[in-house]
Structure 1
């Protein structure tokens, strides 16, 4: 082999090496957060085959739901999506303990696959039942207020950050030997019920929601990331005839946020769902809510 050919090969080798090092899969990433109606109380036993079939190329990192002071909050690992990521799910970071319940993630992913048939989908989920944004309403469930210190300085926002940081630190989430490039594609937020019990807390909901969503966007490194808010509803299944005394104030704040903030919309279908109990939708409700979230976030991304 002559010297010119050898020199040409020598020039190509670094370029080939760079190409091999930068080969990456592109995956659409969505964050799911909030409280118990994002956790999900749908029963796996009631899932139709049409929802659980053909969910290939969908992965989920579900952060361990935990009280404010629990250092294990947010632990998780990437796995293929399947039923069991609802209420009572837990993770120690090495193994997931699936539950008998599901949330919006299954029907959400199913509908997204219809919109993006040739793309991979990734979901990061961290939510915890009973949690408020306002620290005054935290109680034993926890607060998303970033500055809330509690007794050990760990809150729900900290658990969210741990979930995000652990999930994003994995370079090959599907273990196919190719580095993954995650495209931030949206935030889905279903929360507000716990902020609707006290008048002064409900009045602060708009400001609290705006600040938290700004910080969630910042943590995901995109200031205009599309956001879909699920509008809270009231079952009326209590002796007083109303589950959340100041739900209208929180609903108003959610509508205001959707109208005034950039790249935000709201899902209102919750108003017609049936309930598992006084606080949580039935299985059909979660299936429909996931589909409505998918439709809304897809339309925002199309803009």
Structure 2
């Protein structure tokens, strides 16, 4: 697994080194959105305001097909303009994307970035798998982001992430205007942790070290050890029978805060504690819209530093 990761990083470095060649190119700010179901998104397209219900011609997205460990189609995708339908239920076979009736934080995230970076081109890479954990002992049928986890057929969620990035960066002209594009990594947005807060206290207690290692690996993929990370703090709907959906949520929440305290290039969005829910596990449409805006504002402030 590590050999495959190192080979991927070497190939990516070759790609990124090409940005110094002297010929006409366009530059995009590139952001990665990753995590589990509240990054995947369960907002309803029918509940979107007019400002987000159409196609955003200024923002592009490569959404890797989210699927369980072991499936070789995981991470396949195709660049497209940002529009509703990149939420739960989205699929792709690399040749074409099949949009769903749901959306995630990406819509308002892209719209807000467009406002914060006027005149600049924005690109988003998204890979998020509902129910996925970092710790392999919480993987179940949803999958694990642990790089060394063998999973099924030796393929895990980190492999699907690498497939997503590889597919996104293999396209030299993402907007199809005939000019080669340079994608400049500008931030990692991570919304995940609920699954690691569900199974056992030991798994939840390992979340800090698991999160730290995973963010280091994702930074390494984008060849920037100082790339800004924005963490979405998990919250609890209290809608389960015992009034608590995530049994060990406090341990994961503490780990998320601890990670941000110890990493000078990390920030956290805490507004999730104020959101309403569509079910015990997922925010409502209004929550996803606000979350995307808060993610954009947080990464913008980090990049200003």
Query: What range describes the TM-score normalised by the shorter chain of this pair?
Result: over 0.9
Counterpart of 2:39 in structure 1 is 38
Residue 20 of structure 1, CA deviation: 10
Q: Secondary structure at the match of 1:192?
A: coil
Note if 1:112 corresponds to 2:120: no
Q: What is the alpha-carbon distance in structure 1 between the residues aligned to residue 234 and residue 168 of structure 2? A: 28
Q: How does 1:229-248 map to 2 (within 5 A)?
A: 229-248=231-250
Q: How does 1:196-211 map to 2 (within 5 A)?
A: 196-197=197-198, 198-211=200-213
Counterpart of 1:267 in structure 2 is 269
Q: How does 1:184-195 map to 2 (within 5 A)?
A: 184-195=185-196
Contact 2:36 2:129 in 1 (8 A): yes
Q: C-alpha offsets along residues 142-200 of structure 1, whole Å, 9 cap, x if unaligned?
A: 00000000231000000000100110111100010000011110000000000001100
Q: What is the alpha-carbon distance in structure 1 between the residues aligned to residue 223 and residue 31 of structure 2? A: 13
Q: What is the alpha-carbon distance in structure 1 between the residues aligned to residue 69 and residue 21 of structure 2? A: 43
Counterpart of 2:228 in structure 1 is 226
Identify if the C-alpha distance between structure 1 residues 20 and 217 changes in structure 2 by more than 3 Å, giving closer, same or farther. closer
Q: Secondary structure at the match of 2:26?
A: strand
Residue 262 of structure 1, CA deviation: 2.5
Q: Secondary structure at the match of 2:56?
A: coil
Q: What is the alpha-carbon distance in structure 1 between the residues aligned to residue 151 and residue 292 of structure 2? A: 33
Counterpart of 1:155 in structure 2 is 156
Q: How does 1:158-169 map to 2 (within 5 A)?
A: 158-169=159-170
- Unmatched tracts of structure 2, length 5 or more: 1-19
Note if 1:58 corresponds to 2:59: yes
Q: What is the alpha-carbon distance in structure 1 between the residues aligned to residue 204 and residue 131 of structure 2? A: 15
Q: What is the alpha-carbon distance in structure 2 between the residues aligned to residue 236 and residue 172 of structure 1? A: 46
Q: What is the alpha-carbon distance in structure 1 between the residues aligned to residue 266 and residue 53 of structure 2? A: 29
Name whichever of 49-58 and 225-234 sits farther off.
Answer: 49-58
Residue 117 of structure 1, CA deviation: 1.5
Q: What is the alpha-carbon distance in structure 1 between the residues aligned to residue 23 and residue 223 of structure 2? A: 21
Q: What is the alpha-carbon distance in structure 2 between the residues aligned to residue 156 and residue 54 of structure 1? A: 29
Q: What is the alpha-carbon distance in structure 2 between the residues aligned to residue 116 and residue 196 of structure 1? A: 36
Q: What is the alpha-carbon distance in structure 1 between the residues aligned to residue 135 and residue 291 of structure 2? A: 25
Counterpart of 1:298 in structure 2 is 300
- Unmatched tracts of structure 1, length 5 or more: 1-18
Q: What is the alpha-carbon distance in structure 2 between the residues aligned to residue 43 and residue 166 of structure 1? A: 28
Counterpart of 2:122 in structure 1 is 121
Counterpart of 2:70 in structure 1 is 69
Residue 52 of structure 1, CA deviation: 3.5
Structure 1 segments, 4+ long, off by >4 Å, are none
Q: What is the alpha-carbon distance in structure 2 between the residues aligned to residue 141 and residue 91 of structure 1? A: 18
Q: What is the alpha-carbon distance in structure 1 between the residues aligned to residue 174 and residue 299 of structure 2? A: 23
Q: Secondary structure at the match of 1:132?
A: coil
Note if 1:146 corresponds to 2:147: yes
Higher-Rg structure is: 1
Counterpart of 1:285 in structure 2 is 287
Q: How much is the aligned-residue C-alpha RMSD, in angstroms?
A: 1.3
TM-score (normalizing by structure 1): 0.92
Residue 56 of structure 1, CA deviation: 2.1
Q: What is the alpha-carbon distance in structure 2 between the residues aligned to residue 264 and residue 111 of structure 1? A: 19
Residue 50 of structure 1, CA deviation: 1.9
Q: What is the alpha-carbon distance in structure 2 between the residues aligned to residue 228 and residue 247 of structure 1? A: 19
